[in-house]
């Protein structure tokens, strides 16, 4: 089946978009349940360690050639985090999703650190 934009839409007989969405959500829930909980910094010391991890990834991205904004100061980082606006890593400073995926591969999070 060809869509109006010329791309090809794959469709299985009798499978609706709602079915696919439900299957995706179920599979996503199963995968997320198998992962360890995302650590949440609770003390000032943990938040400091989280910031160091964040800036380590930022430095790696800059060293890998990504043109991204300078890291925030520690206080700005804390303020954004406590306001619920912070990100767990600086990858989202990269607008293009393909480049972001490449950056995540080039500068992966340390599984033994904050992520």
Nearest in space to 60 (alpha carbons), one of 84, 91, 36:
91
Cα–Cα distance, 3 to 18 (Å, whole number): 19
Both ends of the chain: CA-CA distance in Å? 42
Encode pLDDT of 52-62 as tens digits: 999 999 999 99
Structure tokens at 46: 């943990």
Q: What is the pLDDT of residues 15-44, one digit of tens each?
A: 678 888 888 889 888 988 887 777 778 889
In the three-class reduction of DSSP (H, G, I as helix; E, B as strand; rest coil), residue 99 is classed as: helix
Q: What is the pTM of this model?
A: 0.66
């Amino acid at each position: 089946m060809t869509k109006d934009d010329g791309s090809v839409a794959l469709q299985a007989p009798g499978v609706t978009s709602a079915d696919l969405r439900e299957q995706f959500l179920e599979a996503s829930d199963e995968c997320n349940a198998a992962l360890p909980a995302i650590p949440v910094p609770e003390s000032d010391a943990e938040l400091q360690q989280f910031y160091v991890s964040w800036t380590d990834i930022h430095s790696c991205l800059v060293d890998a050639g990504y043109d991204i904004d300078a890291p925030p100061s520690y206080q700005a980082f804390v303020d954004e985090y406590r306001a619920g606006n912070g990100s767990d890593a600086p990858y989202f400073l990269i607008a293009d999703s393909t480049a972001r995926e490449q950056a995540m591969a080039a500068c992966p999070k340390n599984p033994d650190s904050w992520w």
